[in-house]
Amino acid sequence: MSSTNRTVVVTGIGATTPLGGDAASTWEGLVAGKSGVKPLEEDWAADQAVRIAARVAVEPTEVLPRPQARRLDRSAQFALIAAKEAWADAGFEAKAGEDPTVDPDRLGAVIASGIGGVTTLLDQYDVLKEKGVRRVSPHTVPMLMPNGPSANVGLAVGARAGVHTPVSACASGAEAIGYAIEMIRTGRADVVVAGGTEAAIHPLPIAAFGNMMAMSKNNDDPQGASRPYDVARDGFVLGEGAGVVVLESAEHAAKRGARVYAEAVGQGISADAHDIVQPEPEGRGISHALQNLLDRTDLNPAEIVHVNAHATSTPAGDIAELKALRKVFGDDTDHFAVSATKSMTGHLLGGAGGVESVATVLALYHRVAPPTINVENLDPEAEANADVVRGEARKLPVEGRIAALNDSFGFGGHNVVLAFRTV
């Protein structure tokens, strides 16, 4: 096999999400149809039009040593926790080099967020205004820079083949994993730690997203607020957390006898060139990304049985995605069990692609599609285009090779589709 077309596999997973402090508890919550959305109890929330969000289930300061936590932005704390879990899950016992099975010069890290260290930036601006110049933390810059999570993960595992941070709003986490797949496929690295993180539950982002009319204002029913495909959906619910995978060339994984969760088949990417925030209503850009995925990989549509949809619970976006799937895959769409896990986790922005890739990989590994919760009245346009897994988790075919997609789209018109399949 040529070094520019190597097979890439997933050998480790990690997450910290509104449903649990690790990948296993997150998966358990997803399959059980649990909502991670809660009322915002902080004083600042009282004035907000949106007073609900999905905070992480386990505070990072309960996991990380205090001196380390205090010099990391919350988004980097999440990333580090998820990355450490994924790294250990992949069977590595120490950082690259110290663990002889992975060469630091052949190890990369690609962790993305949509917004970067926004809470650090805003909190330190408050310090500047209230306490003066001298009190601004000297750690502010490395904490707020968008590459901070990637760089900190790279330091933790000893990655020297390259550390990257693609930024594409809510597609960032998926773009990071796509970038990592290419790093391995093209021979730049043998192992890459990749994923997405976000920590933006703060009065400014909430006010700003709220004023865009992008978020659900269903404050009276937090757990029912994120309702993709329901006729009464009124916007997304902001979530926070991180999801990280360890990607590895199949050859490298086989050599060290690693457990393989799934093959990372590849990615399809496109841009809408339509509007800075509105999705193209017919899903043309999304179709283009899906078509690119088919053209650039050996993915067989007959094997696709599950889609972890982008579906954020916005009126226009949810349907545009389903129309694109129908347009590109035609009758094959009938055997896609479509799940919108944001109904449970909320929307993790740049973290979404990471967490949902973990969910997609586990759906294949366990052959179970998590449900979309809160669909009381299925939108007829959703029903006409797709088979939405509603209410309860659904078993996927127990035999043969199966494949799944994870869609992520971002403000700016970024479309990223990742494909995984069983091995």
Number of other residues whose CB lies within 10 A of the CB of residue 118: 22
Q: CA separation (Å) from 49 to 40, 73, 202, 217?
A: 11, 26, 13, 7
Beta carbons of 156 and 84 less than 8 angstroms apart: yes
Query: Which are the catalytic amino acids?
Result: 170, 310, 347
Smallest gap, in angstroms, from Cβ of residue 240 to another protein? Answer: 25
Smallest gap, in angstroms, from Cβ of residue 72 to another protein? Answer: 13
Beta carbons of 70 and 155 less than 8 angstroms apart: no
Smallest gap, in angstroms, from Cβ of residue 155 to another protein? Answer: 13
124 vs 313 by CB, closer to another protein: 124
Least Cα distance to 123 among 114, 136, 142, 138 occurs for: 136
Question: What values do phi and psi take at 22, rounded to 5?
Answer: -150, 180
Total residues in contact with another protein, by rule CB under 8 A? 12
Question: Helix 352-366 vs helix 23-32: angle between axes, to the nearest 10 degrees?
Answer: 70
The C-alpha atoms of residue 88 and residue 68 are separated, in whole angstroms, by 19
Q: CA separation (Å) from 175 to 67, 79, 92, 243, 309?
A: 31, 16, 25, 13, 15
DSSP state of 101: T
Q: For the window 17-56, what string marks contact with another protein as x by the rule CB under 8 A?
A: ----------------------------------------
Rg (CA), the chain: 20
Q: Return the residues of window 346-405 that contact another protein according to CB under 8 A.
A: none
Is position 126 an interface residue for another protein (rule: CB under 8 A)?
A: no
Q: For the window 82-121, what string marks contact with another protein as x by the rule CB under 8 A?
A: ----------------------------------------
Q: Return the residues of window 132-161 that contact another protein according to CB under 8 A.
A: 134-135, 137-139, 142
Beta carbons of 279 and 409 less than 8 angstroms apart: yes
43 vs 66 by CB, closer to another protein: 66
Q: For the window 221-260, what string marks contact with another protein as x by the rule CB under 8 A?
A: ----------------------------------------
Of the listed pieces 131-139, 209-217, 254-262, 265-273, which binds another protein according to CB under 8 A? 131-139
The C-alpha atoms of residue 94 and residue 107 are separated, in whole angstroms, by 13
Smallest gap, in angstroms, from Cβ of residue 69 to another protein? Answer: 10
68 vs 278 by CB, closer to another protein: 68
Beta carbons of 247 and 9 less than 8 angstroms apart: yes
Q: For the window 52-81, what string marks contact with another protein as x by the rule CB under 8 A?
A: -------------xxxx-xx----------
Smallest gap, in angstroms, from Cβ of residue 142 to another protein? Answer: 8
Residues that bind another protein (CB under 8 A): 65-68, 70-71, 134-135, 137-139, 142
